[in-house]
Amino acid sequence: MLWSSSHSLTAWTFSGTTKYSYVAHDFPFSIPITGENPQRVRLTVEESANYPLSGWDSDDVWRSLGSNSAGYVRLGPLNRLFTLTMFHEMHCLRMLNLAFDPSNILSDDHITHCLGYLRQQVLCHPDLTLEPAGWQDRDLNSGEGATHLCWDWEAVYRLVDDNWSTWKRTREELVCDNSGVCVE
């Protein structure tokens, strides 16, 4: 089976405005990038020697794709904790990279989760850009590859880093419970 769905969009309830309580399912589907119009950027997908499969610096390189907050944001009046899908995907890529290193002990459940999660994300956001076949014949440093039109991931990093900085400045004044909900 290629995919299955166990959730329906009708299970979500929204207030119908841009104001959300961020309690239970009362939150937006995606985080708004405020102050900016989401821009599209071009990315030429190419082979890269910069993300090694193994070696002393492999995990550091893959870890660098994260953010200061590991992709978590705090939203709403209760500072509810969320993760952005992009950073969950990056985490899973890093876990798959670590799985190739025999000295790292990762649970099969975590690797299975990551493989399934990435599969579902590809199905949810298919990129229909045509790519020439024959990736094996490309030079790792040639810069050749198909150009894709993408959302500006740098704006996402800025948003997450700004949210983390704000949270870090104010967290001493807050009391948090085990679920990640924090109030003044």
Residues 54-85: tens digit of each pLDDT: 877 888 998 999 898 999 999 998 889 999 99
- On whether residue 78 sits in a domain, the answer given is yes
As a whole number of angstroms, the distance between CA 155 and CA 97 comes to: 26
10-37 pLDDT, tens digit per residue, is: 333 333 446 899 999 999 988 877 665 6
Mean pLDDT is lowest, of 12-21, 34-43, 90-99, 106-115, for 12-21
Tokens encoding 123:
């199905």
**Does residue 81 fall inside a structural domain?**
yes
Do the domain assignments include residue 176?
yes
Res. 137 pLDDT band, cuts 50 70 90:
low
CA dist list (Å): 179 to 62, 78, 80, 95, 173 = 28, 11, 8, 24, 18
Residue 134 lies in a domain: no
Q: Please answer whether residues 146 and 129 qualify as being in contact, where contact means their C-beta atoms are separated by less than 8 angstroms.
A: yes
54 in a domain, yes or no? Answer: yes
The reply to whether 51 falls in a domain is yes
- Token pair, residue 95, equals 């876990």
CA gap 82, 22 in Å, rounded? 10
pTM: 0.77
Residue 50 domain flag: yes
Mean pLDDT computed over 137-163: 82
Neighbours of 178 (CB within 10 A): 5
Residue 83 DSSP SS3: strand
Q: Does some domain include residue 154?
A: yes
Take residue 89 and report the two structure tokens written for it: 């995907």
**Residues forming a β-bridge with 182:** 176
Report the domain count for the chain.
1
Range of the domain at 153: 40-125+144-183
Assess contact for 99 and 111: CB atoms under 8 A.
Answer: yes
